Amino acid sequence: MAVPSLKMNNGLEIPQVGLGLWQNKDKKDCINAVNWGLEAGYRHFDSAQAYENEQFLGQAVKASKIPRKDIFITTKIRTANMGNQLIETFDESLEKLQMDYVDLLLLHFPMTISRRISWPLMEEIYASGRAKTIGVSNYTITHLEELLAECKVKPAVNQVELHVFLQQPDLVDYCKQKGIVVEAYSPLAHAHNINDPVLADIAQKHGKTPAQIMIRWCVQIGTVPLPKSANKERIAQNIDVFDFELDQDDMKQIAGLESDMRTSWDPTHVE
């Protein structure tokens, strides 16, 4: 079944599930994951300078012979490269990817000392066409308000940790209002609570796995989940979420799973 896309505020489309490449640093594992992803129907891959696998993603995409325009590639500027070195290090990322543009370039984290001077550099890259879309990651409403007040080009995307145990409804609503697509990283909460009984019941009802329920929930609230897996079967399973729908009762039960559980960076106290 085809993966739907969402339209971003610059008119371009983003496939609604992407393969997360976080913690996939090993060359063979990363290339395998991308190949298995392509085979399973993923056309959206989420990398970052900090993941140290841009070169492997680039190699696999090139070898696949799938036209570049049919694949959506994201990378992110690592915190140490925000500020003066941003443009130079972005061009190094393009070299590693063996591409002349990325579909989406994100600032990886709202670093206090460098985020404001970094955005005009992101706008410069956007104007050059080397990034078709620009956005941010780990931004709270406060960080977004600051950026929206100062920017010339609005961020199109905010990639944050989001899953059934960390639902962030206020941030999701705010982004919707402002025309910013929310991407959900760690949509499986790192598989920490994958055996939760509420998820198990809903999964059984739909003949799906708990992971598929978690990913489907992200899709139904209008976000773009980026599940990470390095396993062929699980990679295929995680994109197979477009042949069923969670009903109101399921959504109500899932709302009750909220537990403010973060598995990664907490940006809420970053000034």
Task: Please give the positions annotated as active site.
Answer: 51
Cα 187 to Cα 159, 192, 224, 229, 241, distances in angstroms? 11, 11, 9, 11, 13
Q: Of these, 87, 141, 194, 251, which contacts ligand A2P (CB under 6 A)?
A: 194
Q: Is 164 in the site for ligand A2P (CB under 6 A)?
A: no
Paired tokens of 73? 């590639």
Binding mask 226-245 for ligand A2P (x = CB under 6 A): -xxxxx--x--xx-------
Of 123, 73, 81, nearest in space to 102 by CA? 73
Nearest approach in angstroms of CB 136 to ligand A2P is 19
Which of residues 118 and 209 has its CB atom nearest to ligand A2P in the complex? 209
* Residue 38 CB partners (closer than 8 Å, separation 6+): 60, 64, 66
Does 20 engage in binding with ligand A2P (CB under 6 A)?
A: yes
The answer to whether the CB of 122 falls within 8 A of the CB of 89 is no
Residues in the chain: 271
How many residues touch ligand A2P under the rule CB under 6 A: the total is 18
User: Least distance to ligand A2P from the beta carbon of 187, Å?
Assistant: 5
Q: Tokens for 76, please give them.
A: 């992110």
**How many CB atoms lie under 10 A from the CB of residue 70?**
8
Q: How far is the CB of 29 from ligand A2P (least distance, A)?
A: 9
Q: Under the criterion CB under 6 A, does residue 206 sit at the interface with ligand A2P? A: no
Q: Residue numbers of the site for ligand A2P (CB under 6 A)?
A: 20, 186-191, 194, 209, 211, 227-231, 234, 237-238
